[in-house]
Structures are given as C-alpha cells and as structure tokens.
Amino acid sequence: MILDAARAAASRLFSPEFRSVFLKTLGLTLL
C-alpha cells in the first residue's frame, strides 16, 4: 500500500506538467 502510493507519487512527480509547474514555482521562490 505504501509502495503503491510512493509509485503513484513518483509517476506524478516525473510527469512533464508537474515538473514545469514545480520549476516555475521554484523560480518564483528564488526571485
């Protein structure tokens, strides 16, 4: 169950949409 959640989170984490949003947020935080 925990592994399934981790796998789902990992697949979500490496999706291009999430990565672009994450980088955008990170950039705004650094500015």
Domain ranges of the chain: 1-30
Return d(Cα 21, Cα 19) in angstroms, integer.
5
Give dist(CA 16, CA 11) in Å, integer.
Answer: 10
Report whether 18 contacts 12 (CB < 8 A). yes
Q: Does the pLDDT of residue 25 top 80, yes or no?
A: yes
* 1-23 pLDDT, tens digit each: 788 887 887 777 677 777 788 88
The one-letter amino acid code at 10 reads A
Q: State how far Cα 21 lies from the chain centre.
A: 8
CA neighbours closer than 13 Å in the CB half-sphere of residue 8: 5
